[in-house]
Amino acid sequence: MKRITFTVLFAASLSLFSQEARPIRDNVGFCWQRSQMQNLLGYLQKVDTKKWELRDMVAGISPHDDYLYAGRIYYPLFRSIRTRQALIFGVTHSAVRREINDPQNVIILDDYVSWRGLEADVPVSLLRQYITSHLPAADYLVSDKAHSLEHSIEALVPFLQYFNPDIQITPVMVAPMPLERMQALSEKLAGVIAEYIQGNSLQLGRDIFFLVSTDANHYGPDFSNSPFGLDEEAHEKGTAQDLRIANTYLSGEIDAAKVEGLTRELWGATYRDSRDIYWCGKYDIPFGMLTISKIVEKVLGKKLRGEILRYSDTYSEGVIPLKNPGFGITAPFSFKHWVGFFSATYSPVPAVR
């Protein structure tokens, strides 16, 4: 297999892609100054008494809610990531889809040369150019507008860059698509990415890492989603439901049956919207899990095994009590309006015989 010539690809990418940096979408909920991140992490390090020993990670699931709500959930995952580049699967929220004519059955790439980070831009990896050069044109859409409107990927960038100052990213938004389309497209995308990894002698986890961005249930009248009521018992039932789904389908060995079970939970019996469960990652989680597990199998001949690190929600713990944080929250929290979120880590393991 021929080694990819980075100099040639880089020159090509400069001619084909925009020279602009992707602007910040949410300048309230996330940190964009290193001093802000240091303040947040200083607090999290003090209150987090668990000794995290996360080894052999190649992928993770991260929230994208406000840092003052979900900081404790981001922390154990990102403090353990050390990599040169990361591919991030992001949500295409319904509000964004409405602005871009609701594309279906594709992944959405950008053509920014970099993304804004902690006082320094984060370059986009050459993997993006490799994907557009090798994936059929019908399988992807290039839209700076989509990525400029969407916050689910940018939420991960400051945490990722803080612990990996020289990180490069490949942002990939996932549009709505049925499970059968996910299976077919993930196979093609995994083949392209595996070829890139092998052609450049990259090591999973160290040289390239995979992240999936999601928040869990959005509960309350603002989301037209309150099947258990609007009191303390309802909140307990709603968060228990989140944990059941995460532990059942996103921990242990990841296989096709788990991904199908997850889609039935998140999409409902008809594979459409489930009115009782409103996770914003109902497309990018199953697509991401399919793609990542296939990459691991193609590159290493191993399966993917997951572990849920932490779960919480905006109501249970409220706002992290930082003085003069320089950033804030973008939504309220109460029994009538709360959002769940979790983090998870994934490692390759030999197949169970």
Residue 69 scores a pLDDT above 50? yes
Task: Give residue 53's pLDDT band: very low, low, confident or very high (50, 70, 90).
Answer: confident
Q: CA nearest 245: which of 342, 348, 163?
A: 342
Distance CA 112, CA 133 (A): 16
> Cα–chain-centroid distance for residue 129?
20
Distance CA 3, CA 197 (A): 10
Q: What's the predicted TM-score (pTM) here? A: 0.93
SS3 category, 282: coil
Q: Tell me, what's the pLDDT at 18?
A: 44
Of 14-28, 61-75, 94-108, 251-265, least confident by mean pLDDT is: 14-28
pLDDT digits (tens, 9 = 90+) for 133-192: 999 999 999 999 999 999 999 999 999 999 999 999 999 999 999 999 999 999 999 999
Q: Tell me, what's the pLDDT at 273?
A: 54
Distance CA 298, CA 193 (A): 10
243-266: average pLDDT? 96
Contacting residues for 61 by C-beta, under 8 A, at least 6 apart: 77, 211, 212, 213, 214, 250, 285, 306, 342, 343, 344, 346
Distance CA 122, CA 169 (A): 7
- For 2, what's the count of Cα atoms within 13 Å in the CB-facing half-sphere? 3
**Residue 214, token pair as written in the block:** 């999601």
Q: Tell me, what's the pLDDT at 277?
A: 85
On whether the CB atoms of residues 309 and 345 are closer than 8 A, the answer is yes
Residue 239 scores a pLDDT above 70? yes
Cα torsion angle, 148, 153, 158, 161, sign: negative
Distance CA 151, CA 148 (A): 8
Q: Tell me, what's the pLDDT at 230?
A: 98
Q: Tell me, what's the pLDDT at 228?
A: 96
| Mean confidence (pLDDT) of the chain | 92
6-349: which CATH topology? Protocatechuate 4,5-dioxygenase; Chain B (3.40.830)
Distance CA 218, CA 277 (A): 8
Q: Residue 105: exposed, middle, or buried by beta-carbon count in 10 A (0-12, 13-18, 19+)?
A: middle
Residue 274 scores a pLDDT above 70? no
10-20: average pLDDT? 45
Q: Residue 165: exposed, middle, or buried by beta-carbon count in 10 A (0-12, 13-18, 19+)?
A: exposed
Strand duo 303-313 + 338-349: pairing: antiparallel
Residue 225 scores a pLDDT above 60? yes
pLDDT digits (tens, 9 = 90+) for 313-346: 999 999 999 999 999 999 999 999 999 999 999 9
Q: Tell me, what's the pLDDT at 353?
A: 53
Residue 269 scores a pLDDT above 70? no
Q: Show the CA angle centred on residue 272, arms to residues 235 and 215, nearest 5°.
A: 40
Q: What is the largest CA-CA distance in the chain?
A: 61
Residue 10 scores a pLDDT above 80? no
Strand duo 338-349 + 107-109: pairing: unpaired
**Residue 306, token pair as written in the block:** 């997951």
> Cα–chain-centroid distance for residue 56?
19
How much of the chain, in percent, has pLDDT values that exceed 90? 88
DSSP letter (8 states) at residue 272: S
Q: How many CB atoms lie within 10 A of CB 151?
A: 20
Q: Tell me, what's the pLDDT at 49?
A: 86
Torsion of CA 197, 202, 203, 209, to 10 degrees: -60
